Chains A and B, each alone.
Chain A
Amino acid sequence: MKNLKLYIPVAIFVALALTMWRGLYMDPRTLPSMLINRPVPEFELRTLELGDQLASRDHLPDEPFILNVWGSYCLPCLQENPIFMAAREAGEVPIVGINYKDTDDAAREWLDINGNPFALNVVDDSGRFGIDLGVYGAPETFVVDADGLIRYKHIGVIDYRIWDEEIMPVVRALQSDTGAEP
């Protein structure tokens, strides 16, 4: 009995190894199941554009749109920006930014320098809204449908391939759904 405690290290290690083995087969990019087809969580937050007026879900577009979590400190966001700018100029889809754990000054400066592709920038400086959204870190991107339900989530940077092959097909499908409905 006394010697059983000597087996504690090996038992801990086996538990850890099994978890890691499972972890290997986890795709970190998959959408957390709890968020599929669920509405965007409620929020009351400042924006970079609306001054003192707080924004809520009512301020989000009533057509399919993209929700992008970004920050001025985030290098990959810089890489995504030209893709979003092109989408804005072509009028493909509205993009709402969530300025995540950032300062307003730094964010405004970043938008000045790099261009602002966002229809609206919700300020989540505390990261509280990010927790509700299940955000791991900037950048993350959600596709939201006309009813405000989250339909797709992408963790990490978006390049042209991901944009063309993963994001836009979802957006177009949602847009044609809406178009057929009235």
Chain B
Amino acid sequence: MIPELGNFSLILAFCLSVLLAIVPLVGATRDNALWISLARPLTAGVFVFLSVSLMILTYSFVADDFSVQYVAANSNTMLPLQYKITAVWGGHEGSFLFWTWMLGAWMLAVAIFSKAMPDAFVARVLAIMGMIATGYTLFMLATSNPFDRVLPLPPADGSDLNAALQDVAFIMHPPSLYMGYVGFSVVFAFAMAALLTGRLDAAWARWCRPWANLAWAILTLGLSLGSWWAYYELGWGGWWAWDPVENPPLVTWLLGAAMIHSLAATEKRGVFKSWTVLLAIMAFASSLLGTFITRSGLLTSVHAFATDPTRGVYILGFLGFIVGGSLLLYAIRAPVLKSEFGFGSLSREVFLLANNLILVVASAAILLGTLYPMVYQAISGGDLISVGPPYFNTIFVPLMGLLVVLMGVGLISRWKKTSGRYLVQQLGKVAIAAIALGVVIPVLLTMDIPLGTIGVTILGLWVVFAIGKDIALKTANKPTRGAGLKSLPVSYWGMQFAHFGFVLTMAGACLTSIYSIERSVLLQEGQSADLGRYTFTFEGISPVQGPNYIADEASMRVERDGDLLRYLYPQKRLYTASRTPTTQMGIDGRFLRDLFITLGDPRQDGAWSMTLYVKPFVRWIWIGTLFIAFGGILAVTDKRYRRYKTRQRAGQAPQGRTIELGSAPEASV
């Protein structure tokens, strides 16, 4: 009975979404205040009924209701409670419900935090998000309903959650990834509303920016957690595989990064308007494409079970409607959006444009590499090929290097026009210092001439020094340094944190690929193996009994230069319900290096195969992404995004007044 209530609630959410997609939009076009005012209550209704559905599905998991097919497929009585809850988004149907609920949450947030915007504009934004919600709820009801039952004979016990997903990082990874993904629908809806009304000014950009930053920051966390999960759970010693499933979020992330920078120029200088809108469409389209790719089985089906093409056809139809429709609207309406000002050939605008070009080229290249096997197969009629990491690395690494070089210049350059002499003057010393230290430090540390490391160090120091120089320049006119630092806006600090984090991530990725070493060994009890400065001794194996698995745990003594460092305990687990073996890594993580052991299989003579890894700097990758996400969220908290709201409230301004306030002059950034 209770799952039926969940289903009913989902149907209600669908009906309200349909109303939300139509009524406020018509109201806004006809200037009908009553219909416009329905947008916010309808949004709240959609969110409430999606929440009820999600709670009921969660309840079915917690109560072990195996008559619900989705629960039977993804849970088990022995599964620990926290994994029963995360199993809600562990499979296809549930993750869609969760995703749609996230969309509802973003819609509700827009409805609540949009008091400063004209009601007709908010009505359009919410109506467009209502269309997306309609598509997703209909998809669930039509092809993948999480409340489908197995009646009259439900299984006695479930077949358990995919063993690799029973993990702490996985509790957090999909929610943050989905939340970031879905957040781009907000900016997309803003862009569509701007196209519909033809009004895209500084005020519009200012409304958009916090939402874009927030969605992007959360997506950063989601990607980072995914990579972290792959690193320590899948046990192949890597952190990014250019896998068709992980590429689409990266494409969205890159396009989102481009959009954030383009939005800054749109707000500050009234330029790149139609480009910003196109980026907003592309970023959201790529998030839908990501859904399509992972959920239709288009690219992953080769080594998976046969998939049902109806789902794919449905998502593709939805994709065609939303993306095709919005791009068509863009083609028709974009001429309305004219840039207000020109800019010089050396200016911050130009460097932002270069940044955008690099990011878009990088995302196009990744998308091409991801889709190429499928396109090739569709054209040639059956042949399969694969595109591997060498392709992605060859394209991605030089582009990111160029991006980092330009990042330093872009930071120092000024809006509208910057003289070449000014740039040379300000950046000359920065460049010399970065090159000098970038060569000296690696040479002294390694007593060698490691060219790759030198390149990475120079680029990293270049940006770090440029950030320092920019802060010094910005505070130079203030009486004291302290007062100067305080006078810088929060969003400026957010930007610098994010830039620093990006460089840290890039440096970590490069250095770890240069210096990582690994070794596969067969060890008998008491035997040891050397890797770099470390000695690993196998001190025996003992059985471990987990709640829903049994495991063999190896005891590994790790020594550095002969001194005991610590013990590591890698496990080989067998999940009893699904009979799936997994490995649990033994990891010693430090700021400068990780030690990493994966346990293989035993041989008849009692020796165990295992792989040992030393991975220097690998942690920088994730620490850097934390900086990026923190910077993005910090920028959202800047009070200038809220200033207009308070001003309006104080003056009881009529609706629509805020538009005029949009052209108020602003500090840089």
Residue contact A155 to B371, C-beta cutoff 8 Å: no
Cα of A34 to Cα of B382 in the assembled complex, Å: 9
Nearest Cβ in chain A — how far from B328, in angstroms? 5
Cα of A21 to Cα of B502 in the assembled complex, Å: 37
Nearest Cβ in chain B — how far from A132, in angstroms? 13
Residue contact B609 to A33, C-beta cutoff 8 Å: no
For residue A31, which residues in chain B have a CB less than 8 angstroms away from its CB? Answer: 382
7 contacts between A and B (CB under 8 A): A19-B375, A19-B378, A19-B379, A20-B292, A109-B609, A113-B600, A137-B386
B669 at the interface (CB under 8 A from A): no
Cα of A127 to Cα of B194 in the assembled complex, Å: 52
Known: A13-B324, A20-B292, A28-B377. Is A136-B384 also a contact (CB below 8 A)?
yes
Residue contact A24 to B309, C-beta cutoff 8 Å: yes
Nearest Cβ in chain B — how far from A18, in angstroms? 9
Closest to B380 in A: A32
Known: A13-B324, A28-B301, A156-B303. Is A20-B384 also a contact (CB below 8 A)?
no
Cα of A55 to Cα of B192 in the assembled complex, Å: 64
For residue B522, which residues in chain A have a CB less than 8 angstroms away from its CB? Answer: 109
Residue contact A134 to B316, C-beta cutoff 8 Å: no
Known: A136-B302, A156-B302. Is A21-B330 also a contact (CB below 8 A)?
no
A91 at the interface (CB under 8 A from B): no
B298 at the interface (CB under 8 A from A): yes
Cα of A32 to Cα of B380 in the assembled complex, Å: 10
Q: Which of B361-385 contact A (CB under 8 A)?
A: 371, 374-375, 377-379, 381-385
Q: Which of B280-328 contact A (CB under 8 A)?
A: 281-282, 285, 292, 296, 298, 301-304, 309, 312-313, 316, 319-320, 323-324, 327-328
Cα of A136 to Cα of B593 in the assembled complex, Å: 35
Nearest Cβ in chain B — how far from A150, in angstroms? 14
Nearest Cβ in chain B — how far from A83, in angstroms? 16
Residue contact A23 to B323, C-beta cutoff 8 Å: no
Q: Which of A1-9, A37-45, A173-181 contacts B (4 or more CB under 8 A)?
A: A1-9
Cα of A41 to Cα of B81 in the assembled complex, Å: 54
Residue contact A76 to B303, C-beta cutoff 8 Å: yes
B601 at the interface (CB under 8 A from A): yes
A106 at the interface (CB under 8 A from B): yes
For residue A30, which residues in chain B have a CB less than 8 angstroms away from its CB? Answer: 382
Nearest Cβ in chain A — how far from B554, in angstroms? 16
Nearest Cβ in chain B — how far from A100, in angstroms? 12
Contacts A24-B296, A112-B603, A137-B303 given; 17 further ones with Cβ under 8 A?
A10-B324, A17-B320, A19-B378, A20-B298, A20-B374, A23-B298, A24-B313, A28-B301, A28-B302, A32-B382, A32-B383, A32-B384, A109-B522, A113-B609, A114-B601, A134-B383, A136-B385
Cα of A33 to Cα of B319 in the assembled complex, Å: 32
Cα of A84 to Cα of B386 in the assembled complex, Å: 27
A50 at the interface (CB under 8 A from B): no
Q: Which of A17-73 contact B (CB under 8 A)?
A: 17, 19-26, 28-34
Within 8 Å by CB of A24, from B316, B324, B386, lies B316
For residue B304, which residues in chain A have a CB less than 8 angstroms away from its CB? Answer: 156
B346 at the interface (CB under 8 A from A): no
For residue A119, which residues in chain B have a CB less than 8 angstroms away from its CB? Answer: none
Q: Which of A89-147 contact B (CB under 8 A)?
A: 105-106, 109, 112-114, 134, 136-137
Within 8 Å by CB of A13, from B298, B323, B381, B384, lies B323
Cα of A33 to Cα of B384 in the assembled complex, Å: 12
B526 at the interface (CB under 8 A from A): no
For residue B374, which residues in chain A have a CB less than 8 angstroms away from its CB? Answer: 19-20, 23, 26
Cα of A109 to Cα of B382 in the assembled complex, Å: 35
B334 at the interface (CB under 8 A from A): yes
For residue A114, which residues in chain B have a CB less than 8 angstroms away from its CB? Answer: 601
For residue A32, which residues in chain B have a CB less than 8 angstroms away from its CB? Answer: 382-384
Chain B, residues 485-527, CB within 8 Å of chain A (1/0): the string is 0000000000000000000000000000000000010100000
For residue B385, which residues in chain A have a CB less than 8 angstroms away from its CB? Answer: 136
Q: Is the interface of A mostly helix, strand, loop or mixed?
A: helix
A86 at the interface (CB under 8 A from B): no
B331 at the interface (CB under 8 A from A): yes
Among A13, A25, A29, A34, the most chain B Cβ lie within 10 Å of the Cβ of A13
Residue contact A155 to B377, C-beta cutoff 8 Å: no
Cα of A120 to Cα of B353 in the assembled complex, Å: 58
A157 at the interface (CB under 8 A from B): yes
Known: A14-B324, A155-B302. Is A23-B601 also a contact (CB below 8 A)?
no
Residue contact B384 to A155, C-beta cutoff 8 Å: yes
Nearest Cβ in chain A — how far from B533, in angstroms? 24
Closest to B332 in A: A6
Closest to B325 in A: A10
Nearest Cβ in chain B — how far from A142, in angstroms? 14
When A and B form their complex, which 6 residue pairs have the shortest distance between CB atoms, in order from nearest?
A10-B327, A6-B331, A22-B378, A136-B384, A24-B312, A28-B302
Cα of A164 to Cα of B378 in the assembled complex, Å: 31
Closest to B329 in A: A10
Chain A, residues 155-170, CB within 8 Å of chain B (1/0): the string is 1110000000000000
For residue B285, which residues in chain A have a CB less than 8 angstroms away from its CB? Answer: 13
Cα of A23 to Cα of B370 in the assembled complex, Å: 13
For residue B383, which residues in chain A have a CB less than 8 angstroms away from its CB? Answer: 32, 34, 134
Known: A25-B309, A26-B378. Is A157-B327 also a contact (CB below 8 A)?
no
For residue A137, which residues in chain B have a CB less than 8 angstroms away from its CB? Answer: 302-303, 386
Closest to B611 in A: A106
Nearest Cβ in chain A — how far from B543, in angstroms? 20
For residue A136, which residues in chain B have a CB less than 8 angstroms away from its CB? Answer: 302, 384-386
Residue contact A17 to B319, C-beta cutoff 8 Å: yes
B482 at the interface (CB under 8 A from A): no
For residue B600, which residues in chain A have a CB less than 8 angstroms away from its CB? Answer: 113
Cα of A180 to Cα of B445 in the assembled complex, Å: 74
Cα of A32 to Cα of B376 in the assembled complex, Å: 13
